[in-house]
Amino acid sequence: MRVLVVEDTHDVAEAIVAHFQRQGHVCDHAASREDAAHLANLEPYDLIVLDLNLPDGSGLTLLKELRTARNDVPVLVLTARMHVEDKIDALDLGADDYLVKPFDLRELEARARAVSRRRHGVAEAAIDAGNLRCDFAARTVAIDGCEVELTRREFILLEAFLGNLGRVLEKDDLYSRLYGLTGEAGLNAVEVYIGRLRRKLETADLEIKTLRGLGYQATVRQGERP
């Protein structure tokens, strides 16, 4: 996933970002409502982890602004506020989940995965695409029951394609999922990783098509494979 962590407490933000990165997700961090709004309008995210008590205003204001602008990015509120009224306000404004501090990083990441899956209409932790099965929780991939080993970035790409079957994903979008705002490599890195992923999935029913000038599209082959 591509995650934006909005948290002004440095050690908390650092721990969340480090944990998500270890799990293979790409994270950006904003310590204020203004910075978070800028990033949310600049980049497509799979999830925003949102603290409510920010130095320049309430996270609820940001949530309301996102929903007013018809930005449907999933939002997981993470806050020390434990009153029922606070939870009701957040959910009524369009939050997808609510977790109270202190929290376990494993629970946060599990909730994040569940929220992201629901956004793409996937209720289970695993998804089947023809003879390919991907377990997002266990981070395993199998073709006809035989496990296929993917690197972290190959899995990120596969996760993006499976969550957007039939949709065209632009190269810039895939690059941001792989590298965030760090700019560690050029855009050609996307082609390199897609080439590697295609080779590892060559016996799968999942086909990743290149649409010149548009991007990439994943579809499930129907009938017999050539």
Cα-based torsion angle of the residue sequence 48, 50, 56, 62 in order, rounded to the nearest 10 degrees: 60
Q: According to the model, what pLDDT value does residue 64 have?
A: 93
Distance CA 37, CA 39 (A): 6
Q: According to the model, what pLDDT value does residue 77 have?
A: 93
Neighbours of 70 (CB within 10 A): 6
CA distances from 173 to 27, 42, 54 (A): 14, 11, 28
Q: Locate 9 and state its tokens.
A: 């407490």
> The tokens 């956004």 sit on which residue?
119
Q: According to the model, what pLDDT value does residue 183 have?
A: 59
Neighbours of 129 (CB within 10 A): 20
SS3 state of residue 57: strand
Q: Which residues of 172-209 are buried (b: 16+ CB within 10 A; e: fewer)?
A: ebbbbbbbbeeeeeeeebbeebbeebeebbeebbbbbe
Pairing relationship of beta strands 140-143 and 146-148 according to DSSP bridges: antiparallel
Q: According to the model, what pLDDT value does residue 43 have?
A: 78
| 54: β partners | 57
SS3 state of residue 186: coil
Q: According to the model, what pLDDT value does residue 153 have?
A: 87
Distance CA 59, CA 5 (A): 12
Q: According to the model, what pLDDT value does residue 226 have?
A: 44
Q: Of 113, 114, 111, 89, which Cα lies nearest the Cα of 99?
A: 111
Q: Flag residues of the chain having pLDDT under 70.
A: 119-125, 181-185, 223-226
